[in-house]
């Protein structure tokens, strides 16, 4: 039978080795308590595997083969004749890696439109202790945000050190940049437990599977000539290309009429009129148009000579002609 005074002796008669432990849930743990003064018995008071008062020893070990209690503070004590009882409480942190870490789009869409904002959610299941958790967001391999204001699901104050599930939200904007840096980029989140020098080094971190972001943006037509001179009686080619996601459909239009276009190319025949020919690139996000002015000019007699005027070439052989 023993009793505790309401204070700890000031002469530090007990030393714990180590003074603080960080233990993964379910792992073993052992701590020695050494007394540096005469005593009539020492012991460990704990909610699991306590050690009864023992005489004739200078140290006593508290040992647990599998620690499964989340909140505990084992107390080593020693009774001294005619003096206050020595007491030293052990700091114990029990931790648990998350069952899973995942990232998803709150908007439940497979693609994003350039210039719009979207919310990504990181969900971390059953992690402890949550007060040591930092949620980290990554764009590719680059850390873009750290969050300690995450939402704890169904938190019970009396079980603060027990595992909880949390979620974190990241607001992103699909970039409007020339190189489309957000298209096909991968976002991921990680759960990091920093448990101090006694904990795992480097700090325990579990990362989600990346979420690939597809950005849809309206077409942009690549630079084309604004004026095209065509010699009367000859044909010419109008060529147009554009970038966009989804890949745009490209057609040529003349006087409000869509022209037969093949692979973004329209061939002006000898009978076509001069005027404004419009290239139109269209996808689900938007439309871009550029206009080429076709000018038909009369041919000047003898202004061009070909040397030779006609060639016969075997397939695969080289050929050259001067104009």
pLDDT of the residue at 204 = 93
Query: Residue ranges of the domains in the chain?
Result: 14-94, 100-217, 222-297
How many C-beta neighbours within 10 Å does residue 202 have?
8
Spell out the per-residue pLDDT of the chain, length 323, in tens: 334 433 344 468 999 999 999 999 999 999 999 999 899 999 999 999 999 999 999 999 999 999 999 989 999 999 998 889 999 999 999 999 999 999 999 876 667 888 888 899 999 999 999 999 999 999 999 999 999 888 777 655 545 688 999 999 999 887 755 555 567 789 999 999 999 999 999 999 999 999 988 888 899 999 998 898 888 778 888 999 999 989 999 999 998 899 888 888 888 886 667 889 999 999 999 999 999 999 888 766 556 677 787 878 888 888 888 87
Contact 108, 120 (CB under 8 A): no
Nearest to 93 by CA among 73, 121, 123, 117: 73
The three state secondary structure string of 193-206 is ECCCCCCCCCCEEE
pLDDT of the residue at 160 = 65
Determine the Cα–Cα distance for residues 138 and 191; give it in Å rounded to an integer.
11
Determine the Cα–Cα distance for residues 203 and 134; give it in Å rounded to an integer.
11
- How far from 275 is each of 190, 255, 294, CA to CA, in Å? 60, 9, 5
Determine the Cα–Cα distance for residues 246 and 178; give it in Å rounded to an integer.
16
DSSP percent split of the chain into helix, strand, coil, nearest 5 = 0, 50, 45
pLDDT of the residue at 68 = 93
Contact 21, 92 (CB under 8 A): yes
Predicted structure pTM score: 0.74
Read off φ and ψ for residue 49, nearest 5 degrees.
55, 50
Nearest to 11 by CA among 112, 80, 60, 106: 80
By DSSP bridging, strand 41-45 and strand 75-79 are antiparallel
Q: 100-217: which CATH architecture?
A: Sandwich (2.60)
pLDDT of the residue at 3 = 40
173 three-class SS: strand
202 three-class SS: coil
Pick among 3.40.50.300, 2.60.40.10, 2.40.50.100, 1.10.10.10: CATH of 222-297:
2.60.40.10
pLDDT of the residue at 4 = 40
Nearest to 111 by CA among 217, 188, 189, 208: 217
14-94: what fold? Immunoglobulin-like (2.60.40)
Strand partners, 66: none
pLDDT of the residue at 315 = 86
- How far from 196 is each of 93, 193, 201, CA to CA, in Å? 10, 9, 9
């Amino acid at each position: 039978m023993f009793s505790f005074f309401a204070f700890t002796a000031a002469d530090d008669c007990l030393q714990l080795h180590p003074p603080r432990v960080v233990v993964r849930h379910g792992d073993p743990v052992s701590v020695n308590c050494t007394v540096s003064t005469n005593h009539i018995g020492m012991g460990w008071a704990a909610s699991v595997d306590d050690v009864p008062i023992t005489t004739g020893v200078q140290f006593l070990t508290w040992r647990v083969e599998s620690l499964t209690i989340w909140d505990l503070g084992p107390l080593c004590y020693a009774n001294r004749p005619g003096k206050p009882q020595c007491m030293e409480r052990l700091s114990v942190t029990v931790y648990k890696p998350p069952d899973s870490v995942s990232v998803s789009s709150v908007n439940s869409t497979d693609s994003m439109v350039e210039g719009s904002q979207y919310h990504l959610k990181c969900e971390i299941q059953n992690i402890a202790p949550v007060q040591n958790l930092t949620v980290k967001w990554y764009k590719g391999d680059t850390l873009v945000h750290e969050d300690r204001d995450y939402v704890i699901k169904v938190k019970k104050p009396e079980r603060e050190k027990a595992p909880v599930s949390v979620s974190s939200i990241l607001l992103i904007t699909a970039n409007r940049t020339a190189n489309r840096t957000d298209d096909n980029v991968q976002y991921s989140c990680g759960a990091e437990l920093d448990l101090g020098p006694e904990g795992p080094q480097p700090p325990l971190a579990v990362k989600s599977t990346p979420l690939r972001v597809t950005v849809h943006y309206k077409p942009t037509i690549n630079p084309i000539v604004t004026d095209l001179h065509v010699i009367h009686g000859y044909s010419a080619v109008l060529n147009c290309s554009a970038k966009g996601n989804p890949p745009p459909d490209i057609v040529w239009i003349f006087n409000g009429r869509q022209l037969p276009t093949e692979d973004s190319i329209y061939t002006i025949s000898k009978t076509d009129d001069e005027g404004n020919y419009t290239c139109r690139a269209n996808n689900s996000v938007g439309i871009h148009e550029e206009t080429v002015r076709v000018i038909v000019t009369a041919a000047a007699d003898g202004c061009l000579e070909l040397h030779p005027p006609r060639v016969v070439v075997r397939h695969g052989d080289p050929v050259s002609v001067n104009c």
